[in-house]
Structure formats: structure tokens, C-alpha cells
Structure 1
Amino acid sequence: MIVELTALHWIYVVFIVLIIGFMVARRDTTIVCIAGIFLIAITATGSISHSVSSIFNSFIFAIQELLSTILVISIIVAMSHTLTSTGINDVMISPFQRLIRNPSLAYWTIGILMMIISWFFWPSPAVALLGAVLLPVAIRAGLPALGVAMAMNLFGHGIALSGDFVIQAAPKLTADAAGLPIDEVISASVPLVFIMGLVTTITAYFFLRRDMKRGVFKAITSNTDPQANTSQNKALLTLAQKRFFAILVPLLFAADVTAMILLDLTGGDATALIGGTSILILLFISLTGYKDKGLEKTTQFLIEGFQFGFKVFGPVIPIAAFFYLGDAGFTKIIGEYLPSTSQGIVNDLGVALANIVPLSKAVGAITLTTVGAITGLDGSGFSGISLAGSVAGLFAVAIGKGAATLTALGQIAAIWVGGGTLVPWALIPAAAICNVDPFELARRNLVPVIIGLIITTIIAMFLI
């Protein structure tokens, strides 16, 4: 397939490089993103008024896309504030403190639990389930909040989502595009998923422990706990009541897990169930603990949660607004200004790259990793994997073999980059629950993920 690259494509590429450069330099990217949106819009439309309006419309589009995540994070944090202010949290986490006694156990335990839960329900609801309970345990065990976010992020949005062995949404998309049975793609992805996962999580853990020993992270205090910034007014709960709620809360979330299995709820539906349960817990505890002031306290905790959610997401909205222009967001924000043959800016760039490289096993593997990573830049991870499957199918015909391995490799690269370990707004759930800067989390993930992709690509060359 031949694609026509226009000035819009090259402007998009230039601003991607600028944004990444600003992130690496630890500078804010908001102005760069707004400039990129405006320049793309005025290049496409030639209208200053339309271009100015497109900046605002892009923010609206980004908020609409992120709204469900913002809401569930805000509600989870509000519920966590009630648990902390009433003292229920201390009772609830005491059993885990006996099991998770040091940073290493905290990192690997949270990571493995996150991976297992994410296989069945996808990462976003898994973050909500684990974060509220295990974050304070991990912090008290000496693992920085950033380390908790890395564990949940790499194991959930990385390993679990890139393989997607249970729900199988990702391998179905790539298998269909490549013209392969889904079982072949899953089988081919198993060694690559676990090689990528092992290399990335071990590398991330090594860097984390190294920096902890060097004192890079500040002393672990309650200030690193997002649940700590809550009302100083203590509710009047007896020890028996605290124990009752400490048992009830995990049971309610366990009931959610059971409902997800029985009703086959995944993704957004599963997240909604977790969010609704959290609201009910918030109401029940506030009304019981604060009695005649329960109504006011409920509202106060919700306000605190929403303030936290929008504070965390505020810096992310402009960069999300820019990157959404690379996919279906372009038409919805700016209009029908791309060439009729275009599949979206990001997908066009991936196809163009595939068209200019010579074909061999090594080049095929490197190209599929690159194409997957490029298509993941829109922050979805899923929007471009069909393209990765199509390119893998074409390359396999030219090479004569390796279709399933190439397809799996493109899938893994796209989801690790765009599904939630490198693109800042995609890793927001873990960053928000742990109250860490999503851009800092992306920077911490960058080197381990790149090392993982390099080694996984090399291994794939021998498996083709």
C-alpha cells in the first residue's frame, strides 16, 4: 500500500520529537503541544479562526476520552480518604504488612498480582482494586510510591495487556489483520511476551533499587501516600466497627471480581463496577462514621477526590489532545482534511516506514517493532495493532515465513508503547492512584522498555 505523506505528517513527526525532547529535559510540554495543534490545524484548514477553535475542541475531545478514567480515579481516592480518616485503612492493611516486609517483596508481589488480575479484567480496574489496598502497605515496607506505580504499570499495562491471553482482544485484532488463526498468534506471542516482561521488569527493578540506595528518593513518609492528604477530623468508629468495615470492603471488591467473571465484564464495564462499589463504600462509611455530619463529609470527600483527579490529569490533557490528532481524533477535532487514502497520520507513518525498508528476517523484526511503537504513539495501543498485523502479513510473504512471530512482535511493541507504559496519559491510572507525576513515571519506564524491546526484537529474529 502506497501512502501520501503531506506537510501534516511531517509537522506531526517534528512535534513528536520536540515533545519527547522536552520530556527528557524535564520541561513542561503544554505550550509545545498547543503550538503543534494550532500549526497542524492551520496547515490543514488555512483558517486562523478554525485553528484557534481546534485547540479548544482538541481539549474537549481529550477530556471526553479520558473522562471515565478521571472519574474512577477520583472516586477511588475519595473512598481511600474515608478509609484513612476513619482509621479503617490501618486495620485493613495490617495482614498485608506481615507478608510484605521489604521493598523487594512489595514490588514483585504487587506486580505479579497486577498481572494476574489484569489478564482477566484488564489493567484499569486492576489498578483500582490493588492501589487502594496495597499502596500504603508497600510504602510502609519502604518501596517508593513511584516504584509501586512502576510495578502496576509494567506488569499490568505491559505484560498482561500485550499478551491478552484470556480476553484475547489484542491477538484477535492482529490475527485478523494478518490473516492468521488467533491461536497461532497467541502461541507465537507467549515467549516474546515473557521475554519482554522479564527483561523490562528486572531492569526497572535494578534501576529502582540502585536509585533507592543512592538516596534519589526522599524519605518515605505519609506524604507520599495520596490517601494521607485528608481531613484531620477523626470519625468516631469503635474498633469493632473498624474491623467490620476492614472485612466488608475487601469482600465487596471480591464480589465485584466474581461478578466480572460470571457476567463477563471487562474493560470499561469492569471499571464502572469498581467505581460504583467505591461510591457505595464511601457513602456507607461516611454516614456511619460521621453520623449527623455524614452528608457533609460525603460531599467533602468527593470534592477532595475530584480535586485530586483533575489536578493529576490537568497537565496530561494538552499532550493527549495533540497525540489524538494522530488517529481518529483528527477528523473529529479538525475535520475531513486528510487525503482520502489516509488511515490517520500515525498509521500513514507506519505504512510509509514499511514501504521503504528492504526485507529480511532481521529487518522485518526491527521494522515490526518500529511500526508497532509508532502506531502506539496515539496512546491507545489498540488502534494501530491491526496495521501491525497487516504489515506482518506482507513481510511474512516476502520473507517466506514468520507471520505469527512478526504479528506478535508488532502487537507487543504497540501495546507496550501506547497501552500504558510510555505514553503519559495512558499510564495515568497507576500514576494517579500512587500520586506520582505521570511524566516522571514515563521517564522511569523509558530505558527498561527500550531495553526490553531491543532484546525481544533480537530474540524474534531467531524465532522467525
Structure 2
Amino acid sequence: MGQHITITAAHWVYLAGVAAIVLTMILRANVVVPSIVATFLVALAWTHNPVSAFGSIFNASFVAAKELFNIFLVIALVTALLNALKTLRSDVRMIEPFRAIIKNGHTAFFVLAAVTYVISLFFWPTPAVPLVAAVLLPAAIVAGLPPLAGAMAIAIAGQGMALSSDYVIGVAPGISAKAAGEAISAAAVADRALVLSLITGGIALTLAYFSIRKLIQKPSESLLESWQAQSGNGDLARFEAAGSFDKAEIARGTGYDGSLTDGVQLCKELSAVELRRIGWSKLFAIATPLAFASVIAVMVLPKLGTGLPDLKGGDAAALVGGMAAILMICATFAADGPWRSLEVAAEHVTAGFVFAFRAMGSVLPIAGFFFTGAGGDLAASILNVPTGQAPSLLFDLVQSGQALIPNNHVFVAFGVLIVGMVTGIDGSGFSGLPLTGALSGALGPTVGFNITTLCAIGQMGAIWTGGGTLMAWSSLIAVAGFARVPVLDAVRALTLPVLAGLVVSTVCAVLFWN
């Protein structure tokens, strides 16, 4: 602590780069270009070598790609599995039985939330939203649930609870942990984020339910007819260009158009499966959730004192990806036969990689910039200098400004939460994780706060805000579009429940995990 820290021009350039990226996020523009420019300027200021500075642009994204490729691979394999299940209509069969337990609007609210949460944990909210909206939302509306209430349940459970922990696929905790430093475990961040997401979501769902319970009506087919008669509200076109990511693609690039609005149409959809495939369709509708449930058990049971070996490093991601790959191959074999499945399975994997890079590719230059300031081997590889000469720019800045940082853990926790929420304003959710992770890694040791907990707090702020609960130009627009409600009405209805949940979960994190 007594070591003198010299702040160089590179430190100030790095700080200016962080400020520029945050400002760009606030203005809802894409931060890839500012990240690339900032990486170049930081490298130039540190090495004084234009050749190395130009090379750092490539090195930053390349290093980030190497560190995060396991995430891309898991996304690709899980997406490939989902595409294989769609061929058999097994994805529809997985949730179709839940229509039978929707008896009234009260049960409908919680059934929508529960099913959305589980599907989103396995496949992300992108396919979960249209699937639930097509199969379960019409039944919920018949049961008396207002469309706005359905949109709230889906958004909180999917874009909020499931995506903010991202416990199964592990994209968010992987980015947060890697940005915080090599000593931070993605599995540990995922564990903390899971509990915080459940606290936040539990508070948000409870407040949302009490805010709409008096609007729930008696079951009636006329409610569905009125809902079906509503035309699009134009929000998709109005917000299409807003934010740093094309959220319209989320609403359009789905396998369902919302047409499964009654039992007859649902039966027609399922009967479209060829007779020889029906058995396989039912089998994979059962086998897929059971397989992923076993994966969850392997991940969770060691933490409950069962004596089972804990998964280390990237073992959890490898298990999820391997399970998805085997299920995808088996489902493709069942749907297309032994010979044609060789080609179709490869097409599913290719489509999975296309989706993975479309969804997460722009994160690489952003992560690369923050890795530049993290020090150690990552910064050395980017700046092309020996490891001992690589600067820890962000850590140095925090250390030098330690006197200005209140040594109050509540202040620090809510500061990281607010930073995460600010980065979520651009409507992506994930683009701010390199910043919140790096900031947690620098602030934690300085103020004596658990780094893993800080990472999880920042992750909550970024994803609950930008992932699709508080920003009209986020993927919330897809939820509102399928529910046929104005997206701004959804934002207004969700703001108080979500903010209350984030405050409570952050306080719990300070009290119990610091």
C-alpha cells in the first residue's frame, strides 16, 4: 500500500477512453468504434510506437476472443440444439402441458414467469419469449390475465432473472470474471449472481403481481378475441434504430409468429410433425429438460455439502456444451435419418455460430479495451510487451484516487450497481460487463470488498437495465410486441418493481457476502 504509483499519460488516456465509452452508452450508440480508438490511443501512449499501437487493435480483439471463445462455443451448440428441437416441434411440446394448469389469471401470471425462467436459463430469452408468447400467453389471456401483466411476467423472469444470472450458459459471469482478473472464478460469480437474480426477481415479481392483481378478470374467450383483434402498435419500427443493437432482429428472427393462439391451432402445429417423428418429438420433449436438469444438479449439488467433486474452471461450460451437442446430434438423427443428419447437424452448428457472433461478436473489441487496462498477461499480449512491463492502468487509477473513494461498502456496492445500470442504457446488457468486471477487480482490493460479489452486483445492474426490463429500445420491445402492448407502458409498469428488487438484492449482497 505504501508503494508510490506514477500516473502516466497512458493512464489518463485510458480514463478518457472509459469516459468516452460510458458516454457513448448513455447516448445509446454502439461502443465498438470508441473501444477500438481508445485501445489504439492507450497503446500509443504506453509504447510510443505507432506500429505496436496499430497491432494492439488486432491483439485486443484476438486476446478477448481467445479468453471468451468457450462462451461463443456454448452459445453455438445450445442454439444448434434448439434448431434441431424446432424441427421435431419438441420445443412446443415441452411447454404445451402447462396450458392445462392455467385456470385463472392469478395462476397464469406465475406459470408464465416460471416457464419463461426455465426455458431462458437453458436457451436464453431470445427463443423463450416467442415460444412462451405463442403457446402460453394466449391461454393466460383467456384465463383473465391482462396482456400487460403477461409482458411483465415474461420480461422479469426471462430478460431479468434468467439472463442476469445466465447460470447455465454462463456468458455473463464468464465476461465479468475474466474482466475482473485471472484469479476470479466465473463459477463463483455465477453462484452469487444466481442468488442475487432470484432475490431481485422475487421482489420484482411480487410487486408486479400486486400492482396488477385487481385488473385480472374472469376467464372468457372474448378476452382472447379482443386481444387478437389488436394490431401492432408500431413500437418495433419506432425503436428499431434506437440503442446499440438491432432489437428488431430479436422480434423477427424467431420460429413462431404468435399464431398458436388456441388449442386447435396448437394441435395443428404439433400434427405437422410426420407420423414417424411423433415418438421422437415426444421423447426429446422429455429428454431435453431432464438432461439439462441433470447438468444443473451436477453444478449445484457439490455446493450443498454432498461431497461430490466441484466443477473447476470451464468444466461447467464444457458440460453444458457437450450435453447440447450430443442432444443436437441425436435429435437431428431422429428427424432426418442417419445419412442426411450428417449434413443437417453441420448446418445447425454453423447457424449456431452465426447467432453467437451476431449476439456477442461486438463484445470482443469492448472486452479487449478493458483487458488492456487489467494488467498481467492479458495486457502484455495486447500491448506486445513483456508481462513485467504491462501496466495495470485501471488498478493504478483506483489506487491513486483511493483517498477520494469513501471506504463504505454500501457506497461502493451501489456505485458499481449504478455504473452497471448506466452501461445498460444502450439497450444491450452485455456490453457493460467488461467495465463492471474490471471496475470490481480494481475497487475490491482497495476498499476490502469481495470482488466476486461486486462483479455479480454490477452484472445485475447492467443486465436488468439493458437486457430487457427497463429500456424501451432493449429486447423488451420483443416482449411488448408479442404481448401487443405499448413498450413504454411496459417500461413504466416494470420500473418500480425492478428498481426495488435491485436495491434489496444489493443490500443483501453487502450484508451476507462481503
Q: TM-score range by the shorter chain?
A: 0.5 to 0.7
Q: Identity over the aligned pairs, expressed in percent?
A: 22
Matching residue within 229, 238, 247 for 2:286: 247
Contact 2:250 2:475 in 1 (8 A): no
Please report how far the alpha carbon of residue 98 of structure 1 lies from its aligned counterpart in structure 2 after TM superposition: 4.0
Cα separation, 2, equivalents of 1:350 and 1:448 = 33
Unaligned runs of at least 5 residues, structure 1: 115-125, 164-169, 175-185, 394-406
Return the match for 2:404 from 346, 356, 366: 356
Structural mapping, 1:336-415, within 5 Å: 336=385, 344-357=392-405, 365-367=410-412, 369-370=414-415, 379=434, 388-393=443-448, 407=449, 412-415=453-456
One-letter identity of the residue aligned with 1:414: C
The 1:32–1:327 alpha-carbon spacing in structure 2 relative to 1, beyond 3 Å, is same
**Distance in 2 between residues matched to 1:30 and 1:18, nearest whole Å:** 11
Secondary structure of 2:311's partner?
A: coil
Inter-partner Cα distance in structure 2 for 1:412 and 1:447? 24
Q: Which residues of structure 2 form unaligned runs of 5+?
A: 138-149, 174-179, 185-190, 214-229, 238-247, 258-271, 302-307, 424-431, 480-490
The one-letter code matched in structure 2 to 1:109 is A
Distance 1:326 1:311, change over 3 A: same
Q: Which residue of 1 aligns with 2:225?
A: none
Aligned-partner residue type, residue 326 of structure 1: G
> 2:28 is aligned with what amino acid?
R
Q: Specify the alignment match of 2:51 in structure 1.
A: 49
Alignment of 1:217-256 (within 5 A): 223=251, 226-227=254-255, 237-256=276-295
How far did 1:14 drift? 1.7
Counterpart amino acid of 1:62? A
Residue 27 and residue 109 in structure 1: after superposition, are their counterparts in 2 closer, same or farther (change >3 A)?
Answer: same
AA aligned to 1:90 is V
> Which of 319, 331, 344 pairs up with 2:380?
331
Relative to structure 1, is the Cα distance of residues 236 and 367 closer, same or farther in structure 2, using a 3 angstrom cutoff?
same
Alpha carbons of structure 1 residues 16 and 133: separation in structure 2 relative to 1, 3 Å = closer
Residue 73 (structure 1) shift: 0.7
**Could you tell me how far 1:43 is from its partner in structure 2?**
0.6
Change (3 A) 1:161 1:293: closer
**TM-fit CA distance, 1:386:** 6.5
Q: Does 1:88 pair with 2:90?
A: yes
Residue 166 (structure 1) aligns with: none
Question: What displacement does 1:289 show?
Answer: 1.5
Match of 2:353 among 278, 281, 306: 306
Give 1:128's match in structure 2, choosing from 122, 125, 132: 122
Match of 2:79 among 73, 77, 80: 77
State the match for 2:325 in structure 1: 279
Q: Which segment drifts farther, 69-78 or 143-152?
A: 143-152
1:421-448 deviation per Cα after TM superposition (whole angstroms, max 9, x unaligned): 5289xx99x99xxxx769x99xx99999
Partner of residue 67 from structure 2, selected from 65, 72, 79:
65
TM-score normalised by length of structure 2: 0.60
Amino acid at match of 1:46: H
Structure 1 residues 314 and 146: CA distance shift in structure 2, 3 A: farther
Residue 413 of structure 1 and its aligned partner are, at CA, apart by 3.7
Q: Which residue of 2 aligns with 1:149?
A: 159
Per the TM alignment, residue 32 of structure 1 is displaced from its structure 2 partner at its CA by 1.0
Question: Do 2:130 and 2:256's aligned partners in 1 also have CA atoms closer than 8 Å?
Answer: no
Deviates more, 1:70-79 or 1:291-300: 291-300
Report how far residue 392 of structure 1 moved. 3.7
Relative to the length of structure 1, the TM-score reads 0.65
- Backbone CA RMSD of aligned residues: 5.3
Worse-superposed segment, 234-243 or 214-223: 214-223
- Cα distance, 1:74 vs structure 2: 0.9
* Distance across 2 between alignment mates of 1:451 and 1:354: 30
Contact 1:200 1:449 survives alignment (8 Å): yes
1:162 and 1:193 in contact (8 A); partners too: no
After superposition, give the CA deviation of every residue in 1:239-279 in whole Å (9 maximum; x if it has no partner). Answer: 22321222222232233344444443266212211211111
User: How many residues are treated as equivalent by the alignment?
Assistant: 396
